[in-house]
Amino acid sequence: MYKPEPNEYGEYYGKYISLVHESDIREAFARQPAELRSLFDGVDEEKGVYRYAEGKWTTKESLSHLIDGERIFAYRMLRISRGDETPIEGFEQDGYIENSNANNRSFADLLDEFELNRKANVLFLNNLDETGLARMGTASGSPVSVRALANICIGHVRHHERIFREGYLA
C-alpha cells in the first residue's frame, strides 16, 4: 500500500499524512498498538485525569479520542472501499469526549480497546486489493481514498503520541 497523492485527501489531513514516512504502511499500522501501550507502560492511573493546559482533554480523554478516531476512520474506510458513494458527515470530537466516560476507565482498558479495534482494521486492510485501497469517496466534505484514511489513522496516532510525550507524560 503506497502513500496517497495530495488529491486523495483534504488539506487538513496533510498534517497527519506527513508523519507517515513508510512506503508500505501495513507494518506501521499493525505495530502502533504495541507502541502506544509501551508509551503508557508504568504510568500511574492518577496521571489519567491530568490536563497539561486549561481547556485541554485529560490523558485518558485523549486516549478515548484515539479510539473514537479509529472507529470513525474505519467506518469511512469500510463504506468507501465497498463503493458506497454517499458523502460521509464529519463528527464533533469534543461532544464525543464529553460523553466518553474516559476518566472512569483504566489505562489498560482504554489501550485494550484501541488494540482490538486496530487489530480488526489490520485484518480489514490486509484483505483489500489495490483497487479497494485506491477507491475514492467523500468524508467531512472532502474527497478521500481508503489508503489515505489508513495513512491518516497512523499519522493521527503519531500526532497524539507526540502530545502525550511532550504534554501529558513529560
Position 2 pLDDT exceeds 90: no
Q: What pLDDT score was predicted for residue 3?
A: 83
- Looking at the chain, the whole-number percentage of residues with pLDDT higher than 70 is 99
Q: Quote the CA–CA distance of 42 and 58 in Å, as a whole number.
A: 17
Q: Which domain holds residue 83?
A: 6-168
If pLDDT is split at 50, 70 and 90, which confidence band does 24 have? confident
Where is 161: in which H helix or E strand? helix 146-163
- Whether residue 52 is contained in a domain is answered as yes
pTM of the model: 0.95
C-alpha cell at 45: 492511573
Q: What pLDDT score was predicted for residue 1?
A: 66
- Whether residue 1 is contained in a domain is answered as no
- Whether residue 158 is contained in a domain is answered as yes
Check: CB of residue 13 under 8 Å from CB of residue 148. yes
How many domains is the chain partitioned into structurally?
Answer: 1
Structure confidence by residue, pLDDT tens digits, 129-161:
999 999 999 999 999 999 999 999 999 999 999
- Whether residue 138 is contained in a domain is answered as yes
Q: Classify residue 166 by burial, with Cβ atoms within 10 Å: 0-12, 13-18, 19+.
A: exposed
Which segment of 22-26, 51-55, 91-95 scores lowest on mean pLDDT? 22-26
- Whether residue 89 is contained in a domain is answered as yes
Q: What pLDDT score was predicted for residue 25?
A: 86
Position 109 pLDDT exceeds 90: yes
- Whether residue 85 is contained in a domain is answered as yes
If pLDDT is split at 50, 70 and 90, which confidence band does 170 have? confident
- Give the CATH number, domain containing residue 82: 1.20.120.450
Please give the distance of CA 74 from its chain centroid, rounded to a whole number: 9
- Looking at the chain, the whole-number percentage of residues with pLDDT higher than 90 is 95
- Whether residue 17 is contained in a domain is answered as yes
